Structure 1
Amino acid sequence: MCDKIPPLPYPNLRAFMRHIKGLDGLRGIAALMVVLFHMDAFFGTAFSSTGQYTQATTAWQIYRRLIDGNFSVAIFFMLSGYVLLAAYEKTLSATYLTSSAIKRYFRLTPIVLASCVAAFLLQGMVGFHNVEAAQAIGGHQWLADEYREPLSFFGAIKCGLIGAYEGNLAYNGPLWTIRLELLGSFLLFGFAALFYTARHFPLYVATAICFMSALWGDDGLYLSLFLLGGMLVKYQRLRLPLIWIIPALVLATENQWTPEALFVSSHLPLPVSINALCHGAAAFLILAVTLKSDAFQRLLSIPPIAFLGRISFALYAFHLPIMMSIGAWVMVHGGAPRTAAVLAILATLAASLIVAFFASVTIDQWSQRISGAIAKALVRDDDKASPSYTKAAANQ
């Protein structure tokens, strides 16, 4: 059976590794977009002529159109689905699925745990100044609502090990995606074990998407993205030429506040938000284009973008506590509001990149090794998947 699987469409090892780096680069850009999206309060103040936060400026309108964290999350889920199944495609090994399912919690948790502990440590060393920052810029509800209750060390440990997977966001708001990341991975592995070699695999995927979206709304749609990522592994004809980047970017810039999105959502009884629907479709198109376009993969493989890809998970996990402590402190004490906002943006980016780099080369690499060792101890692996794809899957 394995001999009949067509080879991946890359003529040599260099092209294949550029393909892997391109996917990492896409994830890195998505992680950076989340950081920029969460700094809305700083950007809205920097663009303001009065020094008070406002959404009325043309610059803010452009920023909000181009930068959307929800779209980035959709890319994360789609990429996970693709990369986690790519190694399975090479062997159709049930052992790989079992091993990957065992690895998943141990792969994700060290960075999740470290980010919760970092929030506790930042509370003691710098303090959270987000409430003061919100007051200084004339009010910003989301900024003011974070970290209103004191954090404890044991609470951070509990949140990092269990709470984040239950939806506890008190220590780190962006960790709302971790529960879906774990559930989506398990769904993908189970679905592949049952249906991947079936003749009507696309029909099963479509049925699952409709069922989960109707039953669980946006969460169901996000879980569906893992299956759609797997579809791009199995069916190479779904990969699209570069021209499809245009509709992808149009859909990516939609959100629940745009006039066209409001019009559609008010006239069609959708089981999911127009936000999630547009961003899910955009993520599918972006990944389909990336897989098809060698030029786009080369662009995503240039060193600065590749660096973002290597630290993307840690960047996503650590940036919010850093923003609410260091960034907000700079916003409060950085002088005139507009100047302080620019400095807060720079301080948040610099600190987040530095912390993410060191967390990636220590905690994240350790988590890859330990998760692999645990899976190896519990599951005997008699099959040989593609080493490069196995490594890429371990990076997820």
Structure 2
Amino acid sequence: MTVEVRSEPDQGRAPEPSAVVAKPVVPRRRNRERLHALDGLRGVAAFIVVLHHVLLIAQPVSQPPGEPAPLSAWWWLERTPLKLLTAGHEAVLVFFVLSGCVVVLPALKRVDFSWPGFVASRVVRLLLPAWAAIAFASLLLVIVPRLPQQVTGDSWLARQVQSDWSWPRLVVQFSLMGQVVPYDNVLWTLKWEFLFSLLLPGFLVVAVLLQRWWLPAGLLAVGLGVAGTVGGIQPLEYLPVFFLGVLVAVRLRAIEGWSESRGAKRVLVVVLVLSALLLVGEFLLAPIVPMGSDGSHALIGMEALGAVGVVVCAGAATRFRHLLERRVPQFLGRISFSLYLVHLPVLATLAFLLGDWNWPVVGLIGVPLAVLTGWGFFRLVEKPLHKVARAAKRGAGRAVERYVRADRRG
């Protein structure tokens, strides 16, 4: 939703957080359209993550050693803008910006927003589906044994994906706080989603106070992300990406107004193209800036800026927005979280069953099967939990409110 952030005049000083008020400034229909576009972008990003893992399965079997030969299949896939189709890590950064932007919007609607209710709701909506996904992955592991000889030695599948049953390790995985979650590797991102949820009130206050200086604030966040990536400091690498999303949410009305101006359409096309190229700059410039170098890590840190640009264009660029509002992106957006949670166990199971040398068959069967499984998981697990999350939100808010009232009376 596009919102207007207002504050009481205070002789030029920055507004107090308690003075922040938000109200819709565009018709409801347009608000829904813009949110639909962001849903579509989330769906496209989730599907890109699926294709990314198909590519990881194929890589040890089909990628020649060394730098891809110009005009070869891997050169087209890895050294041209076609990399956008399989840029999994970059798609995750888009997820993080979207979370920062969309999750904060309800808090911008009212000053008395219930933060305890918000945290309770987020725990239900993130943690319970993740636990169900780990249980699903464990079930597949029991049904289809994962024999080491079925995958290339020292490949991503051999090193990163759980291949044997281990109760102690499984229990640890349910915490989601480890560096990796081998039962369902994609769940590493939920640790940062949880931390962002806890830090959101602070992020919102900072974004509101710095809304007039959004450009230096945004560049500072990008700079922190670059420093974190180069230095291997994961909190600095990922948390500023969420803050960039919050900053976009606070500036939505200004973005909305500018996007309606006469020259905005051409500028948005340029922003979208540059943002897309920035997302895969590490791959495009690999012949010049070797992967693994500090320069390459700096390019990875700059990808957050590309993710922000893509999210802004999804809401502001009319043609791009209409593309994301079509049926397929909207369907993928509706099941995006479920698809993200369950696709990797499906693909890994097929790869161990058929052998990673049969990666074309794994992809042809696994991608539609992952989408179908994601739809089923959404209907059976995620969608029912939405009601539980709403109940948890109301219950937590009321419990804290009763406690505060009782404490005042006492």
Q: Which residue is equivalent to 1:362?
A: 380
Q: Verify the 8 A CA contact 1:97 1:193 in the aligned structure 2.
A: no
Q: 1:319 aligns with which of 343, 356, 359?
A: 343
Q: Does 1:241 align with 2:268?
A: yes
Q: Verify the 8 A CA contact 1:331 1:343 in the aligned structure 2.
A: no
TM-aligned CA deviation for residue 221 of structure 1: 2.8
Q: Which amino acid aligns with 2:362?
A: A
Q: Which amino acid aligns with 2:276?
A: L
Q: Which residue is equivalent to 2:97?
A: 78
Q: Verify the 8 A CA contact 2:221 2:244 in the aligned structure 1.
A: no
Secondary structure in structure 1 of the residue aligned to 2:151:
helix
TM-score of the two chains, using structure 2 as the length reference: 0.77
Q: Which amino acid aligns with 2:353?
A: W
TM-aligned CA deviation for residue 20 of structure 1: 1.4
Q: Does 1:273 align with 2:322?
A: no
Deviates more, 1:16-25 or 1:54-63: 54-63
Equivalents in 2 of 1:180, 1:87: separation in Å? Answer: 20
TM-aligned CA deviation for residue 285 of structure 1: 0.6
Q: Which residue is equivalent to 1:20?
A: 35
Q: Which residue is equivalent to 2:64?
A: 54
Q: Which amino acid aligns with 1:247?
A: L
Q: 1:33 aligns with which of 25, 48, 53?
A: 48
Q: Which residue is equivalent to 2:158?
A: 144
Q: 1:177 aligns with which of 189, 196, 202?
A: 189
Q: Which residue is equivalent to 2:315?
A: 291
Deviations 1:182-230 (A, max 9, x none): 1122222333256635676746676666567656734313111111111
TM-aligned CA deviation for residue 52 of structure 1: 4.8
**Cα separation, partners in 2 of 1:319 and 1:299, compared to 1, 3 Å:** same
TM-aligned CA deviation for residue 313 of structure 1: 0.8
Deviations 1:319-345 (A, max 9, x none): 11111112432346xxxx5xx322110
TM-aligned CA deviation for residue 170 of structure 1: 2.7
- 5+ long unaligned stretches in structure 1: 46-50, 382-396
TM-score of the two chains, using structure 1 as the length reference: 0.79
**Cα separation, partners in 2 of 1:208 and 1:280, compared to 1, 3 Å:** closer
- 5+ long unaligned stretches in structure 2: 8-20, 260-266, 400-410
Equivalents in 1 of 2:394, 2:28: separation in Å? Answer: 30
Structure with the greater alpha carbon radius of gyration: 2
Q: Which residue is equivalent to 2:108?
A: 89
Deviations 1:234-289 (A, max 9, x none): 113457723311101111222368436726985xx67x923532321110110111
Identity over the aligned pairs, expressed in percent?
21
Q: Which amino acid aligns with 1:295?
A: R
Deviations 1:339-392 (A, max 9, x none): x322110121122111110111121112222122112112149xxxxxxxxxxx
Q: Verify the 8 A CA contact 1:245 1:286 in the aligned structure 2.
A: yes
Q: Does 1:228 align with 2:241?
A: no
**Cα separation, partners in 2 of 1:212 and 1:26, compared to 1, 3 Å:** closer
Deviates more, 1:185-194 or 1:100-109: 185-194
Q: Which amino acid aligns with 1:111?
A: P
Q: 1:111 aligns with which of 129, 134, 155?
A: 129
Q: Which amino acid aligns with 2:278?
A: L
Q: Verify the 8 A CA contact 2:133 2:342 in the aligned structure 1.
A: yes
Equivalents in 1 of 2:365, 2:198: separation in Å? Answer: 37
Q: Verify the 8 A CA contact 1:41 1:53 in the aligned structure 2.
A: no
**Cα separation, partners in 2 of 1:199 and 1:193, compared to 1, 3 Å:** closer
Q: Verify the 8 A CA contact 1:98 1:379 in the aligned structure 2.
A: yes
Equivalents in 2 of 1:36, 1:52: separation in Å? Answer: 15
Paired residues, number: 360
Q: Which amino acid aligns with 2:184?
A: N
Q: Verify the 8 A CA contact 2:43 2:329 in the aligned structure 1.
A: yes
Q: Which amino acid aligns with 1:102?
A: A
Q: Which residue is equivalent to 2:264?
A: none
Deviates more, 1:1-10 or 1:232-241: 1-10
Q: Which residue is equivalent to 2:18?
A: none
Q: Verify the 8 A CA contact 2:97 2:241 in the aligned structure 1.
A: yes
User: Map of 1:315-354 to 2, 5 A cutoff?
Assistant: 315-331=339-355, 337=357, 340-354=358-372
**Cα separation, partners in 2 of 1:140 and 1:156, compared to 1, 3 Å:** closer
